[in-house]
Amino acid sequence: MAKSDLVDIDVHLHHRTPKGGLLVSLDGNSKKAVWLFEGSCEIELKKGAHYVLTLPESLALDKGLI
């Protein structure tokens, strides 16, 4: 069985556009936030304002999220 390249990351969601753009950060600082396209990842509201972002590890590395 092949190892999945997906990672789950706790993030703050700053903005979501109608066309699928997501502005997220690790620490809630919007100046450090990065844009992602919703088609390349999944974001799920867990509790309150807690979100979990699931995306390929290579994309997370490229965006500085891990």
What pLDDT score was predicted for residue 1? 58
Asked if residue 10 belongs to a domain, the reply is yes
- How many domains does one find in the chain? 1
R_g of the chain, CA atoms, integer Å: 12
Quick: pLDDT tens for 23-37: 999 999 999 999 999
Whether the pLDDT of residue 3 is over 90: the answer is no
CATH number of the domain that residue 27 is part of: 2.30.30
**Which has more pLDDT, 54 or 2?**
54
Residues 6+ apart with CB under 8 A from 34: 23, 24, 25, 63, 64, 65
Q: In this structure, is residue 1 part of a structural domain?
A: no
Residue 55 lies in a domain: yes
Q: Specify if 48 maps to a domain.
A: yes
Which domain range does residue 41 map to? 6-62
Give per-residue pLDDT as tens, 6-18: 999 999 999 999 9
- Mean pLDDT, the chain, rounded, equals 94
Grouping H, G, I as helix, E, B as strand and the rest as coil, residue 21 is strand
In a domain, 35, yes or no: yes
Average pLDDT over every residue of 29-54: 94
